[in-house]
Amino acid sequence: MSHADVMIAGGQVIDGSGAPARKADVAVRGDRIAAVGDLRTWTAERRVNAAGRTVTPGFIDVHTHDDAALFDRPDMTMKISQGVTTVICGNCGLSAAPCPLHGGVDFFKLLTPKPESLPRSVDELLDRVDFAKPALNAAFLVGHSSLRMRVMGKDLGRVATPSEIDQMRDHLDDGLDAGAIGLSSGLFYPPAQAATTEELVEIATVLEPAQGVYAAHMRDEGDRIIAAIDETLAIGRAGARMTVISHHKLGGKRNAGRSRETLAHIERAAATQPLAFDVYPYVASSTMLMKGRLAEAERVLVAWSEPHPELAGQDLAAIAKSWGVGLEAAVDRLSPAGGIYFMMDEGDVRRIMTHKLAMIGSDGLPVDRHPHPRLWGTFARVLGHYSRDQNLFDLPTAVRKMTGHPAEVFGLSGRGRIAPGAYADLVMLDPSQVIDRADFERPTQASDGIEMVMVNGQIVWRDGAATGARPGRVLRRQALLDEAQTG
């Protein structure tokens, strides 16, 4: 007779491939799924009644800045509470390692309030995450801006010299050897703005033997977005197994509607080169508070401010007015600071999310005192608001965008699907109840309807609370490639 450690019985199983739901039991043994189907004859240590519930693979948050959160707050409640079981870290060119040898770079405050304590190498970073035993799994990209800051110090307003490019390539190579799965860049941001396409192309060639991915926060997400997409594609072609356009969106009123154009452009390119993109389900973006972004936003909220922590959550225009200064002067007084920018068109967000190449990524910033609600709400919002309530796409399609599709794109072998032999990263949700509760006023609320979350066979979230189990693992490149071979 067959025996399971945990039997999730009688649920509607959505396997992550996009296939329709079907009624099935899911047997978990150790850290893996042992069987899927009619398993009434099995015995089990523990039974979870899934009648009336939907069982899906655990969600993969493909766009995060959780590098340091994994050891600063390893419970990772903001993610497991919405069903996320794996996060991809190191996005937007900013990875927690390698980190500048002489510290003092404000940019790293996007990741942690204590940038001086960040590990020096990717190897050390991955070990530190392992040691912290986070509640969920994590895979890492090496950030181009981090490479630049490590090699060029604070002298970032110029193109790197050939010898500096060589050093960046060496650091990337070391990172890939240690287990990173690819490279990210953030050519939009000051540490990388001066980098040329050629600088990135030369660095990206290191990805080829490693089968690494390339993820890009593009140089421009507004008027010049088509040129920025072409630059991203060219860098990806230099060596990446897969190119990912990060948080695809269009900023500014005058670019509203242009996702028709960008998606057509992306689709043409995808016919000749492996390509995907991620998107978060909101019309507001969030990053450092920057003067350059003010013009395109209709409204700006302060997410955090080092000199004025008490103003987190306040409207920038109201702050400026109360101080009797202009918006730019207010930004100067508040910096270093984070901002939330209302700058997108709802129609574009929907069109982008609906596209078959779209994956879901939160882009949440866990250190923000008053974060963008995407940190806590992204996945439940796609499932409850956009799929069920707005009927933008069916539930199996929504689930595929956060499980099977990203697992393929990032090469996460054994993740993102419900099948015998796959890892037991699972979510049980109530499809009629699932919804995000985090909003712009109260952004740190757990979602509703996510009833059980399992990571590597252990339950980490049950009935609205974390169980305290922390079975997460670092997903290292070589192990993923080996598993792809044997699995």
Here the tokens at position 136 are 């969920």
| Contacted by 477, from Zn ion, Cu ion, none: CB < 5 to 8 Å by type | none
> Distance between CA 344 and CA 298 in Å, rounded?
9
- 92 or 238, CB closer to Cu ion? 92
The torsion region of residue 104 among left (phi > 0), alpha (psi -120 to 50) and beta comes to left
**Please, what is the minimum distance in Å from the beta carbon of residue 479 to Cu ion?**
25
> Distance between CA 198 and CA 450 in Å, rounded?
45
| Contacted by 250, from Zn ion, Cu ion, none: CB < 5 to 8 Å by type | none
- 94 or 311, CB closer to Zn ion? 94
The piece of 28-36, 89-97, 206-214, 330-338 that touches Cu ion (CB under 5 A) is 89-97
381 belongs to the binding site for Zn ion (CB under 5 A): no
Here the tokens at position 108 are 């790293």
The piece of 86-94, 228-236, 423-431, 448-456 that touches Cu ion (CB under 5 A) is 86-94
Question: Contact at 8 Å (CB) between 103 and 75?
Answer: no
**Cβ-closest position to Cu ion:** 92
232 belongs to the binding site for Cu ion (CB under 5 A): no
The piece of 9-17, 90-98, 333-341, 457-465 that touches Cu ion (CB under 5 A) is 90-98
Name beta bridge partners: 139: 88
Q: How many of the other CB atoms lie within 10 Å of CB of 467?
A: 16
144 belongs to the binding site for Zn ion (CB under 5 A): no
Residue type, 487: G
Q: How many of the other CB atoms lie within 10 Å of CB of 201?
A: 17
91 belongs to the binding site for Cu ion (CB under 5 A): yes
110 belongs to the binding site for Zn ion (CB under 5 A): no
351 belongs to the binding site for Zn ion (CB under 5 A): no
The string of DSSP codes covering 331-392 is HHHH-SEEEEEE---HHHHHHHHHSTTEEE-----TT-SS--THHHHHHHIIIIIIIIIT-S
378 belongs to the binding site for Cu ion (CB under 5 A): no
| Contacted by 348, from Zn ion, Cu ion, none: CB < 5 to 8 Å by type | none
52 backbone dihedrals φ, ψ, rounded to 5°: 75, 5
| Contacted by 362, from Zn ion, Cu ion, none: CB < 5 to 8 Å by type | none
**Please, what is the minimum distance in Å from the beta carbon of residue 287 to Zn ion?**
7
418 belongs to the binding site for Cu ion (CB under 5 A): no
> Distance between CA 124 and CA 177 in Å, rounded?
12
Question: Of 92-121, which residues contact Cu ion (CB under 5 A)?
Answer: 92
**Pairing verdict, β 275-279 and 242-245:** parallel
> Distance between CA 392 and CA 360 in Å, rounded?
14
3-class SS of residue 428 = strand
x/- site string to Zn ion, residues 24 to 53, per CB under 5 A?
A: ------------------------------
The piece of 13-21, 86-94, 119-127, 237-245 that touches Zn ion (CB under 5 A) is 86-94
Tell me which of 67, 345, 348, 363 binds Cu ion, using CB under 5 A. 363
9 belongs to the binding site for Zn ion (CB under 5 A): no
92 belongs to the binding site for Zn ion (CB under 5 A): yes
Tell me which of 29, 217, 370, 437 binds Zn ion, using CB under 5 A. 217
> Distance between CA 96 and CA 52 in Å, rounded?
42
> Distance between CA 425 and CA 32 in Å, rounded?
8
Binding site for Cu ion (CB under 5 A): 91-92, 363
